[in-house]
Structure 1
Amino acid sequence: MSTWPDTRLLDLLGIEVPIIQAPMAGATTAAMVIAANQAGALGSLPAATLSIEQLRDALTTIRHASTRPINVNFFCHQPPDPDEARDQRWKDLLEPYYRELGADFDAPTPVSNRAPFNDAACLVVEEFLPEVVSFHFGLPEKSLLDRVKATGAKVLSSATTVEEAIWLEQHGCDAIIAMGIEAGGHRGIFLSDDLNTQIGLFALVPQIVDAVSVPVIAAGGIGDARGIAAAFALGACAVQIGTAYLFTPEATISPSHHHALRHAEASETALTNLFTGRPARGIVNRVMRELGPINPAAPAFPRSGGALMPLKAKDEAGFSNLWSGQALRLGKELSTYDLTRQLAMQALAKLTKN
């Protein structure tokens, strides 16, 4: 392809087009990562819901298929202290649904888990040497981060505010993902828990660009070439795209999620803490409407999801997380490879037409 107007991230990561396929836990497959790589983008493997064995298997598959740079993404939250009373209050709030759907309320509550980055995960990084390691919810503690950087990996993390971006640069990030409020899935928020002060992408990107010296990647509400061109105009040198890749055949999503993505209106997403305990954007469904998308009774991340699992088994559409960003109506039925190439070519044409 012709030269992009800003090649800092391309040069930093060794990729051909300034697109990062977002790491979407539960939806991203090794096949998606490989296809994104083959199209010249940075394929990203989410590790938060994988066991160490599953992570090694996925990385083995990817490395056998491609020698291009890859990104492995980890959560770096602090697991909450046990709070059985809060867990029980949450389950009690859900009891009417258990009775209605015929789920066993008295059975032990399943465990909902998102594993934070730890020594075992770091050993996998040291074994497979991914070119990029990205984090959500800040950065891991210094000794682990130092080990990651010692492998030669470039480190990325998400910032939802200017203050978070500055903190990330000060603590060793090589590039920063500016995550607008429009983005689907979990908010990367980590210096505050105030959702009322979260910022839209068009306001966030130029302020982060002005505040840091490292490359900035725009994420949130970008689903076509117009969004990519706009991100560059605001000072970003790449974009991270998630929801658009949920429409590809390489995505592994449930039938209910598949249907919701293709039929929900653009205004039908909301931030919710019901499914994991942390705010994340998804398509509004029954439990979000009836309990409110943000409910203070939900246990701390990631414990709230366990009590919903038996309900999800009975009514997937009504009680499962249907993650999506606000640009869902821009989604197209294309393969990961074709989507990536089309986005890149159309965006480059817009950026170079003058």
Structure 2
Amino acid sequence: MSTLLSGLGADLPLIAAPMAGGPSTPALVTAAARAGGLGFLAGGYKTAQALAGQIHTTRAEGVAFGVNLFVPNPVRISREAYRRYAREMRTEADRYQVRLPEEPIEDDDHWTDKIDLLTSSPIPWVSFTFGIPDRAVVSALRRAGSTVLQSVTSADEARRAADAGVDALIVQAPAAGGHSATLTPARPLAPVRLPDLIAAVRRAVALPLIAAGGITTAADVADALGAGAEAAMAGTVLLRTHESGASAPHKAALVDPAFDTTVVTRAFTGRPARALRNQFTDRYDPIAPAGYPALHHLTGPLRRAATAAADTRLIHLWAGAGHRQSRAEPVTDTLERLARGL
């Protein structure tokens, strides 16, 4: 059993990944813990008050859990490039009668408020994505009693995270659904298999590792653990579970024969993210500039309107390469399937 997880009472080396935007509900996180694993609340895109509410709900269930935050690591975009991209999608916005932000919004996702929340009301695990927090932030969380984890996508990023003083690493391969954790989002993602990435990171640092990205079968879990990871983190395979907060059109698209391919695109948010290929990715990916969080805020009103209308042509249908393995079932059943043979 993983020494990293055993202190939290987990029986399985399986973790439910944080999926921002709705899927990672307190119910999903609680179910993962009761199935013998661990779950993460997704703090991204939430105010500190909203995150505190989810923490309160989960804590009341008496289970161990973690919280993931997005670290401010903006990809700047010029006003001209932003406006040019906005003009391209004006027809779609007009169809849904939504107003798109006229100027780039460059916020920090309520960073300071959320760090204050997690240091004043500590939880067992805190993980970071998109950037590496200052060493002072890491130290404050560790002093508060949290185990601090950093998402990385390369051996170089792993070394930088180790220098910041984190306790463990979440090693994410490019097969992952949703946003890549890359620290350099303007660069193309290097194609690498998860076991090979785990092995490379193990050679670079001595920290405990959690494998993520493309974990959808028991064989994937076995490969990740065999490569040297202490646990495997699954996301996409949990999207259709009963406890998932993913939208109904998103859940349906994951098994719709019309959506048979995933692509890495920055069309929705200005950062690379893997999604089901649809009309939006076909139309806008070739012309999408890099620019985060500005593009996330630009396309947000349109994406919300499309989701409400179940218009899967325009929704950000985040999905990993193994999305066909997701099933409409309780989280417990999914984790039991992933754990077979352990």
User: If the length of structure 2 is used for normalisation, what is the TM-score?
Assistant: 0.90
Q: Which residue of 2 aligns with 1:255?
A: 248
Matches within 5 A, 1:121-132: 121-132=114-125
Is the CA contact 2:172–2:212 (under 8 Å) kept in the aligned structure 1? yes
Question: What does residue 306 of structure 1 align with?
Answer: 297
| Cα deviations by residue, 1:93-117 (Å, 9 ceiling, x for unpaired) | 2134345x25356x75598787446
- Provide the rounded CA distance (Å) in 2 between the counterparts of 1:102 and 1:154: 44
Greater alpha carbon shift after TM alignment, 109-118 vs 78-87: 109-118
Q: Does 1:238 find its partner at 2:234?
A: no
* CA distance, structure 2, for counterparts of residue 283 and residue 88 of structure 1: 26
Q: Does 1:347 align with 2:341?
A: yes
Q: Identity, % of aligned pairs?
A: 30
Inter-partner Cα distance in structure 1 for 2:137 and 2:284: 39
Kindly provide the amino acid, as one letter, of the partner of residue 288 in structure 1. Answer: T
The farther-off stretch of 26-35 and 329-338 is 329-338
2:208·2:230 contact (CA, 8 Å) conserved in 1?
A: yes
Task: Give yes or no for the alignment of 1:190 onto 2:183.
Answer: yes
Please provide the CA RMSD for this pair: 2.4
Q: Whole-Å Cα distance in 1 between the matches of residues 133 and 333 of structure 2?
A: 35
Aligned counterparts, 1:162-173, within 5 A: 162-173=155-166
Preserved CA contact (<8 Å) 2:172 2:211 = yes
Counterpart residue number, 1:20 = 15
Give the 3-state SS of the residue equivalent to 1:281 in structure 2.
strand
Distance 2:217 2:271 in 1: 28
- The residue identity in structure 1 corresponding to 2:299 is L
1:228-256 C-alpha deviation (Å, 9 max, x unpaired): 11111211111000001101011112222
1:47 has 2:43 as partner: yes
Distance 1:147 1:31, change over 3 A: same
SS in 2 for 1:120: helix
Question: Secondary structure of the residue that 1:253 maps to in structure 2?
Answer: coil
Amino acid at match of 1:129: P
Structure-2 residue corresponding to 1:58 = 54
> Is 1:278 aligned to 2:271, yes or no?
yes
Select 1:95's aligned residue among 82, 90, 99. 90
Q: Is the 8 A contact 1:48 1:115 kept in 2?
A: no
- Deviation of residue 83 (structure 1)? 4.1
One-letter code aligned to 2:55:
L
- Secondary structure of the 2:28 match is helix
1:35 aligned residue (15, 24, 31): 31
The 10-residue stretch of structure 1 (82-91 or 173-182) with the greater mean CA deviation from structure 2: 82-91
Cα distance in 1 for residues equivalent to 2:299 and 2:175: 25
Flag the 1:114–1:131 CA change in 2: closer, same or farther, 3 A: farther
Return the offset for 1:81: 5.7
TM-score of the pair, normalised by structure 1: 0.87
Superimposed CA distance per residue, residues 13-61 of structure 1 (whole angstroms, 9 cap, x where no aligned partner): 5422111100001211011111111112111000011111111111111
**Which moved further from structure 2: 195-204 or 234-243?**
195-204
Paired residues of 1:117 and 1:140 also in contact (CA < 8 A): no
CA contact under 8 A between 1:277 and 1:302: conserved in structure 2?
yes
Paired with 1:192 and 1:252, the residues of 2 have a C-alpha distance of: 27
* Farther off after superposition, 265-274 or 164-173: 265-274
- Please give the alpha-carbon distance, in whole angstroms, between the structure 1 residues aligned to 2:183 and 2:103: 27
- Aligned partner of residue 77 in structure 1, secondary structure: coil
192 and 58 in structure 1: CA distance in 2 versus 1, 3 angstrom threshold: closer
Amino acid corresponding to residue 243 of structure 2 in structure 1 = E
Counterpart CA distance in 2 for 1:179 and 1:266 is: 24
- 1:161–1:14: structure 2 CA closer, same or farther, 3 Å change rule? same
**Given the superposition, is the C-alpha separation of residues 117 and 236 from structure 1 closer, same or farther in structure 2, using an over 3 Å criterion?**
farther
- CA contact under 8 A between 2:151 and 2:181: conserved in structure 1? yes
Counterparts of 1:143-162 in structure 2, within 5 Å, are 143-162=136-155
Give, in whole Å, the separation in 2 of the partners of 1:12 and 1:251.
Answer: 26
Q: 1:269: how far off?
A: 0.5
Q: 2:70 aligns with which of 75, 86, 96?
A: 75
Runs of 4+ displaced beyond 6 Å: 110-114
Tell me how far 1:291 sits from its aligned partner. 2.3
* Equivalent residues of 1:49, 1:115 under 8 A apart: no
How far the C-alpha of 1:265 sits from its partner, in A, is 7.3
Q: How much does 1:214 deviate?
A: 1.2
Residues 1:326 and 1:87: Cα distance change in structure 2 (over 3 Å): same
Alpha-carbon offset, residue 124 of structure 1 = 1.3
**8 Å CA contact retained: 2:174, 2:190:** no
Q: Which blocks of at least 5 consecutive residues in structure 1 are unaligned?
A: 349-354
